[in-house]
């Protein structure tokens, strides 16, 4: 089981990540872009592109479900009580990689 404090620790360990309110619940952002939200203690929404969603569903089919924003596939919802920390960490990193500016995601590049 992964609780909110573990999610918070894992997310905030990523470079330049900040926690901010998003409609009354925590969101995790890099360079102003949301890469994950935690609407309650049991769910984590991780913003991923279609390839990232595929990866998430392969890594954790029993704990991840696709999330749509309108008709667009927007990420996955993670069932935190059923998840483990390494999976959550990997999903957060995938989402962070998709939102972080190149200078943060790949420090050796300008």
* N-to-C CA span, the chain: 39
pLDDT value for 66: 97
- Would you identify the CATH topology of the domain 4-98? 3.90.1150
CB 43, CB 77: distance < 8 Å: yes
Query: What's the pLDDT tens digit per position in 13-48?
Result: 999 999 999 999 999 999 999 999 999 999 999 999
pLDDT value for 108: 54
Report how far residue 71's alpha carbon sits from residue 44's, in angstroms, rounded to the nearest whole number: 20
Quick count: other Cβ atoms within 10 Å of Cβ 90? Answer: 16
CB 99, CB 50: distance < 8 Å: no
pLDDT at residue 10 greater than cutoff 80: yes
Distances, alpha carbon 103 to alpha carbons 71, 89, 93, 100, 106, in Å? 31, 21, 16, 8, 6
- Could you tell me the pTM of the whole model? 0.92
């Amino acid at each position: 089981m992964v609780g909110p404090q573990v999610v918070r620790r894992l997310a905030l360990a990523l470079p330049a990540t900040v926690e901010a309110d998003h409609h009354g619940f925590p969101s995790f952002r890099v360079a102003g872009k949301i890469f994950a939200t935690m609407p309650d203690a049991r769910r984590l929404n991780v913003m991923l592109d279609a390839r990232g969603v595929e990866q998430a569903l392969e890594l954790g089919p029993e704990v991840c479900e696709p999330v749509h924003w309108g008709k667009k596939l927007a990420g996955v919802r993670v069932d935190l009580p059923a998840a483990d920390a390494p999976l959550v960490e990997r999903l957060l990193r995938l989402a962070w990689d998709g939102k972080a500016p190149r200078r943060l995601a790949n420090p050796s590049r300008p």
